[in-house]
Copies of this chain bind each other. A is one copy, B any other.
């Protein structure tokens, strides 16, 4: 599948590398066509790796993964504009606010009664936004089997059931079993999954280990 990744940070590069390993074609999108990290990414993969602007990437991808920093996501996606119409956007970003020091809090206007996921959906009403994978370290996003035999939780939120089913197939390729993918409902549920970040960050701070996740037991 042709997949665009917007954002060339650790999260974007980790997801992109895994997708190529799985046989997909990936275009790493950034603000400028000659982004250094995107070019390094391309040079590391002999096949199926491309780089381009946000706009070029979004045109290329059947699926678009938003891995930009949460504080910049809406602005970055606006550079893509109409090319998001009818496209699936997998939003793995979090609206973190570092302006009050560490650990970050959430960006006030994108939390509690709103979320980054639903703000993207509202801003681009013809796109199909699915929020998933944002509640863990990126290494686990694409390789859940790394801990506890893959048995821990990944949430999925979005307005369109069929689209969520398509995204689940990609999650399955990463190693996510359906029994560990919990559908929380429409995109407003992103308020809840983005609210996992404060506890994630404190657990990380207390344990000094980011390769953990939550599992639901009952």
Q: Name A residues whose Cβ lies closer than 8 Å to a Cβ of B.
A: 100, 105-106, 108, 111-113, 147-148, 151-152, 155, 182-185, 189, 191-193, 195-196, 198-199, 201-203, 205-207, 209, 211-218
Contacts and interface: CB of A to CB of B under 8 A. Distances in A.
A105 B112 contact: yes
Contacts of A201: 192
A85 to B, nearest CB: 29
Given A148-B217, A196-B196, A213-B218, 9 more contacts: A105-B112, A112-B112, A148-B218, A182-B206, A192-B199, A195-B196, A214-B215, A215-B215, A215-B217
Contact of A217 (B185, B196, B212): B212
A218 B209 contact: yes
A184 B205 contact: yes
* Interface pairs A-B: 8 shortest CB-CB: A212-B218, A148-B217, A192-B202, A192-B198, A195-B198, A192-B199, A214-B214, A184-B202
A203 B182 CA distance: 8
A182 B206 CA distance: 8
